[in-house]
Amino acid sequence: MGTTPLEESIREESRKAIDAAREAEASRTGAFEEECDAEIARFRERTEEETRARIRQEAFKLKNRSILERKKRRLTFVEEFITGIVEDAVAGIGKDRRYGTFLADTVVDAATRLQGSLEVGLREEDLVRREEIMEALTAAGKEPEIVITRDDGIRWGGCIVRDLREGRILNSTIERIYYRKSPAVRRAIMGMLKEKGLAIEE
């Protein structure tokens, strides 16, 4: 039995509708895939840029760390060099012929300024200069009540004079003198190091 024109028309319209739906679905699928591809590309680009930025940041950190480490090592070298020079210089100060005069003159000056009962603290190895100090006081017309004792706090030399009545203290140790003069000493040594290309930049 043949189909009627109505059935043919319905089938034709159905085919058209199905084809149109397929085309629309294919179009939507294609657009979605393109959108996905574009999003993936944007994500990849963003991720790569973030990765490059992170790499640049880490490289910058490493470079700075390397610079700081080099400066730290050189600073340590400079400090050890300066300390070594100072230690060598003060190690032989007690053997200098002028050292005894320095001690005696320092105590005489203190006796003039303090004018009371005095206690003079010396390194153990400087106690042998007790007589020299007393002779200098006598020669200067100073006859204070004075006691000379060992002071284990003095490492490099010099003396500490204490006024036993008023509690005043005159610190004339080599350590104290170096502390006051250390900026000038450091500048001189740093200048020599810079001439040799060994000092860090200030």
Instruction: Tell me, yes or no, whether 100 lies in a domain.
Output: yes
User: pLDDT at residue 140 above 90?
Assistant: no
Average pLDDT over residues 75-82: 80
Which of 38, 65, 91 finishes a domain?
Answer: 91
pLDDT in tens, 11-55: 666 667 666 667 776 677 777 777 777 777 787 788 778 878 887
pLDDT, mean over the chain: 81
Does residue 105 sit in the same domain as residue 158?
A: yes
Instruction: Tell me, yes or no, whether 194 lies in a domain.
Output: no
Per-residue pLDDT band for 87 (boundaries 50, 70, 90) equals confident
pLDDT in tens, 91-127: 788 888 899 999 999 999 998 888 778 999 999 999 9
Per-residue pLDDT band for 60 (boundaries 50, 70, 90) equals confident
Predicted local distance difference test score (pLDDT) of residue 107: 93
Residue 111 burial class via C-beta count within 10 angstroms: exposed 0-12, middle 13-18, buried 19 and up: buried
Average pLDDT over residues 161-189: 87
Phi, psi for 169 (deg, rounded to 5): -130, 135
Does residue 53 sit in the same domain as residue 133?
A: no
pLDDT in tens, 5-20: 555 666 666 667 666 6
Does residue 105 sit in the same domain as residue 81?
A: no
Please, what is the angle between helix 130-139 and helix 97-114, to 10°?
Answer: 50
Q: Into how many domains does the chain fold?
A: 2
Predicted local distance difference test score (pLDDT) of residue 13: 66
Strand order across the beta sheet in which 158-163 lies: 146-150, 118-122, 158-163, 169-173
Which of 68, 91, 114 finishes a domain?
Answer: 91
